[in-house]
């Protein structure tokens, strides 16, 4: 259908409906169609996940109506995903944090008490000054997730610390980013720089795009499917994209590196590599050819269960499509502890296909050159985050959250205080509850800034209620994309209850710490306007359009024969990594067989469901209605063996004795008999999350076998096993 400009319609219909119609049998009155009241809209950037789609918030008669995608936005293509569309639920959630809370002891029992902002901020700034005076400001660490964390990083740095970590690194995409940097000198970026809409062949390796709703990823994959891309999905589970694929390779879990090496073996032995690209840009090809010689499809078949002819055929499909071929880097890459090496193998395979920074492979993202608001330089910290765990994980390019937690336990611990923003550590770090309790007992200060009463708030000394993304300004979105673009998040409503925007909280703390010069704005709008003026826009303009796209300054792909300096020590793509060898690691990925599944146990596989961003959204009243609980996928043979019926509730037990909350079984052929699967983010313990508390099971508390990647410190979580505990009727 043809689209038209949005029309404001007066409330004519709304009033006529109130007049009793002449013929009224049922005694009901038809509600006026939506949008017949006074409608207004304002721009936002979605905060339902990290993808940061730009959208438009619609109000009707002053009430929140709906949120839709901004047509000019590359992240969303004008369409929000399920969670983004469910954004009103975040604002309307009755369980939101409403007032600052402080831990107090009443009659010998600890409890939280509502306090004024003044009291809460005074307490925090006194404690922060105490830590700075006794141990140094670097001993205050921040653990964070999400765009709003920027305000508190700014505060932290002005305070004199740069100690911070986000679980998004060591519990998610860290090994991928490090593996790509070690190989091609850059990360796979966020949003991922995959040029899927132009690809002719795509490999998804355990990446279930479509079950995750990383918006532009989903949209470009759908575009590729519409153009008849050859989709190859490698996954032990019949995932949503597996069902859309020409080839589904139901691989034996944990054997992915073997498959990747076999594909390289085929490309090299059948002379299918892009030799011009490799001659120009790569080093180490001879060593690689020698290295992969033993990984023949016949040998790898025994490990992976993928037949040799399928390995050869799919390798040839990739070569035929190259350079418009993508071996997708994935995102959640923390699987078996050799994850940096697996990600390196993926990057190397893309290099053999010549697809890195080529059309239909990967593109070169570009940002807006946006000046920072002029403020004094930050003081130079004496320590960095990595000094808390010296000698460990030499290629960790960001703070390692599990390292920070370990360095926060005990009287002589490195860290003395935490500022936790937007991350629910009890669910985002595997099997961490005892450590969190120990850290909370050791730290002088533990502040949690949140919109919801997550489990993490239960560990805090002080809980600061932030307002939702629909009630605040945050920084301009300036992520690398196909075109440079800026997007604005602005308040559509005044903050509900006594919640406050992050920028306000950070500034108030800054003022109390004598750091006023770092917070020269009265309102964050001033800072955003100044930045926008520097690039030829203004806050006024952005409040109307929400997204501004800028022309590219350099090409989207490598030009033919272009000279390129890669950001690696050799300035080339490093198929052989001398820097890994120098630190005692394998210079090229080596396959290690996974631990076998103990008898009577099943591999615990976990992932996403499209209705939720893990535990962040399970209490959202709109999304809760769509997907109230997670389900445990069980193969029919396994269900039969245990006499488990579809829709029955069971509990799961780990080898170390952890027992899960009860979870509903979904008997399905979409999973093999060696594994079970559940969506992560359920089984909440916080009773203050009234919809989701106690609903479904939490995979992370069943994990006792964590495989730390020695290269960069991430926590591999796919090496865990569970068995059934049947619910008594």
Partner 1 sequence: MTRYAMVIDTKTCIGCGDCVVACKTENKVPEGLNRDWVVEATNGTYPNLTTEFRSERCNHCSNATCVTLCPTGASHHWNDTNIVLVEAEKCTGCKACIAACPYDARLVMHPDGYIDKCTFCHHRVEQGLDPACVSSCPTRCMHFGSLDDPHSKVNQLLKTRQHKVLIPETGNDPNVYYLT
| Site for partner 1 contains 210 (CB under 8 A) | yes
Cβ density class 106-128: b for 16+ within 10 Å, e for less: eeeeeebeebebeebbebbbebb
List the x/- string, 588-617, binding to partner 1 by CB under 8 A.
Answer: ----------------------xx------
Per-residue binding letters, 615-634, with partner 1 (x by CB under 8 A): ------xxx-xxx-------
Q: In angstroms, rounded to a whole number, what is the distance separating the alpha carbons of residues 174 and 166?
A: 10
- Contact region with partner 1 (CB under 8 A), list: 137-145, 214-222, 311-319, 650-658: 214-222
Would you mind telling me the total number of residues written for the chain in this entry?
Answer: 729
34 binds partner 1 (CB under 8 A): yes
Pairing of strands 230-234, 201-205: parallel
Shortest reach from residue 21's CB to partner 1, in Å = 5
Site size for partner 1, by CB under 8 A? 62
Query: 214 and 83 in contact (C-beta within 8 Å)?
Result: no
Question: Least Å distance between CB 254 and partner 1?
Answer: 17
Q: Least distance to partner 1 from the beta carbon of 58, Å? A: 9
Closer residue to partner 1, CB minimum distance, 84 or 179: 84
Give the angle subtended at the CA of 423 by the CAs of 417 and 424, to the nearest 5°. 95
- Minimum distance from residue 31 beta carbon to partner 1 (Å): 7
Q: Which of 70, 343, 619, 635 binds partner 1 (CB under 8 A)?
A: 635
**27 lines the binding site for partner 1 (CB under 8 A):** yes
Distance between CA atoms of 566 and 574, rounded to whole angstroms? 9
Quote the tokens at residue 392.
């460990």
Q: Which residue's entry shows tokens 């054997």?
A: 255
Whether residue 163 contacts residue 384, with contact meaning beta carbons closer than 8 Å, is answered with yes
Q: Does 1 bind partner 1 (CB under 8 A)?
A: yes
Instruction: Give exposure, 259-268, as e/b (b: 16+ Cβ within 10 Å).
Output: bbbbbbbbbb
23 binds partner 1 (CB under 8 A): yes
| Candidate residues 14, 35, 308, 379; the one interacting with partner 1 per rule CB under 8 A | 35
- 230 sits in which H/E element: strand 230-234
Buried-state track 274-312, b at ≥16 Cβ within 10 A, e below 16: beebbebbbbbbeebbebbeebbbebbbebbbbebeebb
> H-helix or E-strand containing 524?
helix 524-534
| DSSP codes, 655-714 | TT--BPPPEEEEE-TTB-TTEEEEESS--B--TTSTTTBT-S--GGGG----EE-TTT--
Provide the mask over 533-572, with x wherever binding to partner 1 is found by CB under 8 A and - wherever it is not: ----------------------------------------
- Residue 669 or 727: the one with the smaller Cβ distance to partner 1 is 669
String of contacts with partner 1 for each residue 41-70, x by CB under 8 A: ------------------------xxxxx-
Residue span 215-234 as binding mask against partner 1, x where in contact by CB under 8 A, dash where not: x--xx--x--xx--------
Least distance (Å) from partner 1 to the CB of residue 622?
A: 6
Nearer to partner 1, 220 or 654 (CB): 220
Tell me the C-alpha distance between 399 and 163, whole Å.
7
Please check whether residue 92 is in contact with residue 447, taking contact to mean a CB–CB distance below 8 angstroms. no
Member of 11, 14, 72, 79 binding partner 1 (CB under 8 A): 79
Nearer to partner 1, 222 or 440 (CB): 222
Decide if residue 259 touches partner 1 (CB under 8 A): no
What is the DSSP pairing of strand 485-487 with strand 462-465? unpaired
Residue (33 or 569) nearer to partner 1, CB: 33
Nearer to partner 1, 51 or 295 (CB): 51
Q: Would you list the DSSP string of 41-66? A: EEEEE--SSTT--EEEEEEETTEEEE
Residues near partner 1, by CB under 8 A = 1-4, 7, 21, 23-31, 33-36, 65-69, 77, 79-82, 85-86, 88, 210-211, 213, 215, 218-219, 222, 225-226, 238, 240, 243-244, 248, 250, 610-611, 621-623, 625-627, 635, 668-673
């Amino acid at each position: 259908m043809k689209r038209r400009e949005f029309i404001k319609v007066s409330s004519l219909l709304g009033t006529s409906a109130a007049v009793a119609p002449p013929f009224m049998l049922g005694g009901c009155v038809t509600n006026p169609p939506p949008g017949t009241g006074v409608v207004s809209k304002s721009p936002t950037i979605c905060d339902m996940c990290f993808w940061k789609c730009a959208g438009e918030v619609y109000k009707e008669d002053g009430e929140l109506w709906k949120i839709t995608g901004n047509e000019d936005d590359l992240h969303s293509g004008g369409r929000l995903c399920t969670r983004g569309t469910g954004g009103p639920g975040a604002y309307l959630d009755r369980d939101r944090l409403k007032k600052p809370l402080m831990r107090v002891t009443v009659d010998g029992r600890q409890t939280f008490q509502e306090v004024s902002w003044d009291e809460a901020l005074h307490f925090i700034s006194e404690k922060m000054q105490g830590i700075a005076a006794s141990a140094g400001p670097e001993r205050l660490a921040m653990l964070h997730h999400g765009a709003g964390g920027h305000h508190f990083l700014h505060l932290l740095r002005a305070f004199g610390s740069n100690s911070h970590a986000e679980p998004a690194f060591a519990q998610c995409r860290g090994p991928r980013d490090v593996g790509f940097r070690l190989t091609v000198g850059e990360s796979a970026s966020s949003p991922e720089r995959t040029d899927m809409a132009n690809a002719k062949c795509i490999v998804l390796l355990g990446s279930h795009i479509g079950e995750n709703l990383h918006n532009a990823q989903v949209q470009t994959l759908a575009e590729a499917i519409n153009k008849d891309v050859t989709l190859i999905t490698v996954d032990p589970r019949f995932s949503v994209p597996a069902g859309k694929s020409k080839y589904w390779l139901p691989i034996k879990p944990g054997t992915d590196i073997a498959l990747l090496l076999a594909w390289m073996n085929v490309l090299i032995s059948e002379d299918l590599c892009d030799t011009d690209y490799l001659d120009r840009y790569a080093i180490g090809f001879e060593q690689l050819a020698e290295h992969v010689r033993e990984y023949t499809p016949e040998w790898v078949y025994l490990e992976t269960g993928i037949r040799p002819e399928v390995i050869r055929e799919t390798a040839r499909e990739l070569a035929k499509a190259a350079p418009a071929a993508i071996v997708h880097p994935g995102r959640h890459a923390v699987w078996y502890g050799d994850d940096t090496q697996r990600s390196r193998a993926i990057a190397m395979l893309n290099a053999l296909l010549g697809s890195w920074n080529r059309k239909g492979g990967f593109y070169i993202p570009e940002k807006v050159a946006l000046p920072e608001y002029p403020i004094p330089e930050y003081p130079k910290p004496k320590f960095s985050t990595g000094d808390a765990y010296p000698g460990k994980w030499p290629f960790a390019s960001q703070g390692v959250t599990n390292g920070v937690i370990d360095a926060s336990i005990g009287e002589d611990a490195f860290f003395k205080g935490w500022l936790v923003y937007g991350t629910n550590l009890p669910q985002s770090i595997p099997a961490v509850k005892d450590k969190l309790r120990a850290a909370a007992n050791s730290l002088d200060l533990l502040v949690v800034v949140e919109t919801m009463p997550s489990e993490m708030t239960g560990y805090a000394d002080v809980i600061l209620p932030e307002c939702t993304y629909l009630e605040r300004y945050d920084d301009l979105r300036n992520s690398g994309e196909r075109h440079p673009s800026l997007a604005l998040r602005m308040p559509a409503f005044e903050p509900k209850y006594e919640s406050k925007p992050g920028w306000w909280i950070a500034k108030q703390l800054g003022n109390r710490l004598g750091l006023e010069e770092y917070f020269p704005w009265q309102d964050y709008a001033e800072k955003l306007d100044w930045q926008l003026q520097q690039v030829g826009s203004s806050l006024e303009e952005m409040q109307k359009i929400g997204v501004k796209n800028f022309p590219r300054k350099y090409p989207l792909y490598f030009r033919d024969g272009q000279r390129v300096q890669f950001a690696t020590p050799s300035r080339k793509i490093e198929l052989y990594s001398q820097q890994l060898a120098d630190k005692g690691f394998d210079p090229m990925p080596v396959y290690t067989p996974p631990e076998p599944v103990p008898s009577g146990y099943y591999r615990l596989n976990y992932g996403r469901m499209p209705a939720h961003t893990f535990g962040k959204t399970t209490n959202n009243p709109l999304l809760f209605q769509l997907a109230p609980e997670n389900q445990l996928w069980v193969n029919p043979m396994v269900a039969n063996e245990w006499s488990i019926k579809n829709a029955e509730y069971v509990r799961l037990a780990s080898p170390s004795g952890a027992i899960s909350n009860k979870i509903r079984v979904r008997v399905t052929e979409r999973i093999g008999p060696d594994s079970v699967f559940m969506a992560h983010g359920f089984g909440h313990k916080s009773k203050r999350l009234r919809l989701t508390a106690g609903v479904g099971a939490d995979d992370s508390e069943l994990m006792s076998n964590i495989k730390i990647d020695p290269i960069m410190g991430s926590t591999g979580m796919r090496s865990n096993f569970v068995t059934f505990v049947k619910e008594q009727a």
